[in-house]
């Protein structure tokens, strides 16, 4: 009797407004599995009505609760996944933003990033149009932010695939990378 292969976790990773949510959702539908939305979006949506103008959307003191919520949602969703789970973010994404917004990343978060295993990162490029919303604030720093995300993957030597182009090109490139992961059981590094 053979057991099912272990669940592969794929993170759609990169700066804001690069199509991560759409890609995670579409990949989950294609592979007939589940995906984990970004916990932070709902967290900030709940705060927005009470925030004074110009106030930061997230405080450093809230990062632990945000990461815990994301992991809780990920583990709950993983229980229903088939072969692969798509994550709209993960602790490394939060660590990159901590460095950018707060100038450092808490040691507990760095440890968590090192401990949690993800099999493939789909690094979304900034070659799609910017779409403003109340949670997005870096339209002029998209290339800089992309370089931070790429650097985080490179420093840790994490398996990843670059995802660029229009919607169809992105979806096709992501499927090729995920198919390679599922067939060979390993990520593609590019």
Any domain includes 3: no
In a domain, 189, yes or no: no
The tokens describing 124, both together, are: 């979304």
Nearest partner of 161 among 180, 144, 183, judged by Cα? 180
Whole-number mean pLDDT of the chain?
92
Average confidence (pLDDT) over 47-53: 90
Range of the domain at 177: 8-184
C-alpha–C-alpha distance, residues 95 and 78, integer Å: 22
129 has a pLDDT exceeding 50: yes
In this model, does residue 80 exceed pLDDT 50? yes
Tokens in use for 50? 């009470």
Percent residues over pLDDT 90 in the chain: 82
**Mean per-residue pLDDT for 168-177?**
98
Query: Residue 37: how many CB atoms within 10 A of its CB?
Result: 16
Domain annotation covers residue 2: no
CATH of the domain at 113: 3.40.50.300
**Residue whose C-alpha is closest to residue 20's, from 131, 185, 98, 182:** 131
Classify residue 169: in a domain, yes or no.
yes
Residue 188 confidence (pLDDT) above 50: no
Number of domains in the chain: 1
The answer to whether position 144 is within a domain reads yes
16 lies in a domain? yes
- Per-residue model confidence (pLDDT) at position 115: 96
83 Rama class: left (phi>0) / alpha (psi -120 to 50) / beta: left
Whether pTM > 0.85 for this model: the answer is yes
Within its chain, how far is the Cα of 114 from the centroid?
16
Q: Which residue has the higher pLDDT, 11 or 133?
A: 11
């Amino acid at each position: 009797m053979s057991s099912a292969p272990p669940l592969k976790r794929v993170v759609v990773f990169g700066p804001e407004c690069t199509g991560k949510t759409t890609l995670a959702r579409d990949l989950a539908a294609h592979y007939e599995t589940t995906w984990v939305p970004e916990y932070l979006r709902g967290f900030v949506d709940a705060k927005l009505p009470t925030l004074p103008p110009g106030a930061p959307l997230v405080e450093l003191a809230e990062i632990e609760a945000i990461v815990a919520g994301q992991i809780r949602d990920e583990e709950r969703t993983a229980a229903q996944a088939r072969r692969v789970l798509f994550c709209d973010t993960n602790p490394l994404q939060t660590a990159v933003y901590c460095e950018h917004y707060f100038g450092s990343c808490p040691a507990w978060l760095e440890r968590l990033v090192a401990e949690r295993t993800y099999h493939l990162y789909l690094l979304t490029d900034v070659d799609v149009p910017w779409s403003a919303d109340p949670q997005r604030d870096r339209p002029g720093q998209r290339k800089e932010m992309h370089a931070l995300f790429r650097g985080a993957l490179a420093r840790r030597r994490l398996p990843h695939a670059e995802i660029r182009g229009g919607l169809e090109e992105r979806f096709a490139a992501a499927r090729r990378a995920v198919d390679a992961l599922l067939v060979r059981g390993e990520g593609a590094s590019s």
